[in-house]
Amino acid sequence: MDDARLTLLLAIADDEMVTGHRLGEWTGWVPYIEEDLALSSIAQDEIGHAKALYELAADLGAAPSADALAFGRRADQYRHAVLCERSNKDFAYTIARHYLYDTADEIRLGGLSQSSFKELVQLFTVFRPEERYHTVHARTWFSRLADGPVDAKHRFSEALASLMGEAVALFEPLPAEESLREDGTMPVPSEQMLGRWLDGVTRDLESFGLERVLEERSEPAIGDLVPTSSGAAEESGDAARLRVPGIERQDGRWVHTGGFEGAGGRRGHHSEEFAPLWEEMTNLYRTHPGATW
């Protein structure tokens, strides 16, 4: 198949797969039963979307099967954004990531709705009603935590501040973006989608007095609470870097001006947190080549 289109397809599929995988790690552990059910549902939606996208890629000749794409690639062949692979930490952190990811996904689905890649657009019409519930869920929690007791608000805003930089990188342009623009696969360039997303996030943050998370970067304040063998807590990185890289305020708006924190996910460069996730997710499949399950 067209390599450029495959890059796009895998970027979206891997985002959904890894996001669904991380949410599925919560199943059975969420300290609030109704939310356990909700996160499991969203996990299944995301993995279901990944499955449909991998199947499309396989149909177009990228691999013998969807499973071969999901479980049979090397870690550096996954094209998801680094944000998606970050370990779950606590509920506030997971909800912050859920909000940032699903609002971005909403913009992405909208930005590709007029794509010339018809098979992809067709899948999106199936995804969109489900994704709508994800953003409703994420926004409900956003306001509940941002407008909640002081501890909840603090934890949530710290989590947002630590994730914002890598969330921006969800829109890091694809390596083949130029040719995808030329043939109409991507009618809206990544940078433009990023602008739309930043506007929406800024509005949400402003309405709860949380705009500072766009100004000050912070490190995750909490280690990983969700027990899993792939759940090593994030190494504390460059603590001296206090600005969210790549965005600044111009003429009363937050805009993207620079590079991307956690850049390279779309080219297969991942953080130290992806290797254990990949190992756990693919080990059984890889250990029994040719077996059916």
Catalog residues that contact other proteins under the rule CB under 8 A: 21, 24-25, 27-29, 31-34, 36-37, 40-41, 43-44, 47-48, 50-51, 54, 66-67, 70-71, 90-91, 144-145, 147-155, 209, 222, 225-228, 230, 277, 280-281, 283-285, 288, 290-293
Report the alpha-carbon distance of residue 108 to residue 84 in Å, rounded. 15
* Residue (34 or 235) nearer to other proteins, CB: 34
Alpha helix stretches (DSSP H) within 27-87: 33-59, 66-71, 82-85
* Residue (34 or 251) nearer to other proteins, CB: 34
Q: How is 218-285 classified by DSSP, letter by letter?
A: ---SS---S--TT-PPPPP--TT--SPTTEEEETTEEEE-S--TTTTGGGT---TTHHHHHHHHHHHH
Cβ 90 to other proteins, closest distance in Å? 6
β-bridge partners, 250? 253
From the list 56, 66, 47, the residue with the least C-alpha distance to 8 is 56
* Residue (148 or 175) nearer to other proteins, CB: 148
Cβ 220 to other proteins, closest distance in Å? 14
Cβ 211 to other proteins, closest distance in Å? 11
* Residue (31 or 129) nearer to other proteins, CB: 31
* Residue (36 or 119) nearer to other proteins, CB: 36
From the list 14, 83, 8, 75, the residue with the least C-alpha distance to 50 is 14
Cα dihedral angle (127, 132, 137, 143), rounded to 10 degrees? 150
Cβ 29 to other proteins, closest distance in Å? 6
Report the alpha-carbon distance of residue 55 to residue 49 in Å, rounded. 10
* Residue (103 or 157) nearer to other proteins, CB: 157
> Contact, 94 vs 36, CB < 8 A?
no
Cβ 26 to other proteins, closest distance in Å? 9
Cβ 291 to other proteins, closest distance in Å? 5
